[in-house]
């Protein structure tokens, strides 16, 4: 079991403003509602509009990666999204039960080369991104620090 001390889990987070928990299928039609829910949750946690938008985009990109690379386009597989916060940051995790492969962060030197932009967004807009392979899939935890 990986050491998770550096990444607070929901049971370690303070109860206020509450936790976010979404269970959806791996259908691209769910991207917008998940993105909107995560952005609203970030605003409730006190993030400003721009920071909440950054998290929304990264959740969108991470979930799109799950759909394409963990579930190979299947639209009926489970995706669980959780959000929590503490005094330092807001955290969003995405759990899938797919291929278990850690997405590669490619250096994107040529902007016209397709692919890889989603991971660039995660790297540039978030403070921490941790992929933890699970016996039956993947747990991604994303951290956005408070300003």
Partner 1 sequence: MAVELKTNSRWLPAARSDGDAVVARVAGEIDLNNSPELRGELFNLLGRQPPRRLILNLADVPYMDSSAIAVLVEVLQKMRKTGGKVWLTNLQPRVQGLIEIARLGTIFAVARDESEALSTKSP
105 part of the interface to partner 1, by CB under 8 A: no
Q: Return the number of the residue (6 or 105) whose C-beta is nearest partner 1.
A: 105
**Using the rule CB under 8 A, is 129 a contact of partner 1?**
no
Out of 1, 29, 87, 147, point to the residue binding partner 1 (CB under 8 A): 29
- Our finding on whether 112 is near partner 1 (CB under 8 A) is yes
Decide the pairing of beta strands 137-145 and 89-96. antiparallel
Task: Name the site residues for partner 1 (rule: CB under 8 A).
Answer: 28-29, 31-32, 35, 53, 57, 60-61, 64, 67-68, 108, 111-112, 114-115, 117-118, 120-121, 124-125
């Amino acid at each position: 079991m990986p050491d998770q001390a550096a990444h607070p889990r929901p049971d370690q987070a303070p109860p206020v403003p509450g936790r976010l928990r979404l269970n959806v299928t791996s259908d691209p039609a769910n991207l917008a509602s998940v993105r909107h829910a995560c952005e609203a949750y970030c605003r409730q946690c006190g993030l400003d509009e721009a920071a909440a938008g950054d998290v929304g985009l990264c959740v969108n990109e991470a979930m799109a990666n799950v759909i394409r690379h963990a579930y190979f386009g299947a639209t009926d597989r489970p995706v669980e999204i959780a959000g929590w916060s503490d005094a330092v940051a807001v955290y969003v995790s995405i759990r899938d039960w797919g291929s278990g492969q850690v997405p590669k962060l490619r250096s994107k030197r040529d902007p016209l080369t397709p692919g890889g932009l989603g991971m660039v967004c995660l790297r540039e807009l978030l403070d921490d991104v941790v992929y933890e392979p699970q016996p039956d899939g993947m747990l991604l935890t994303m951290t956005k620090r408070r300003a």
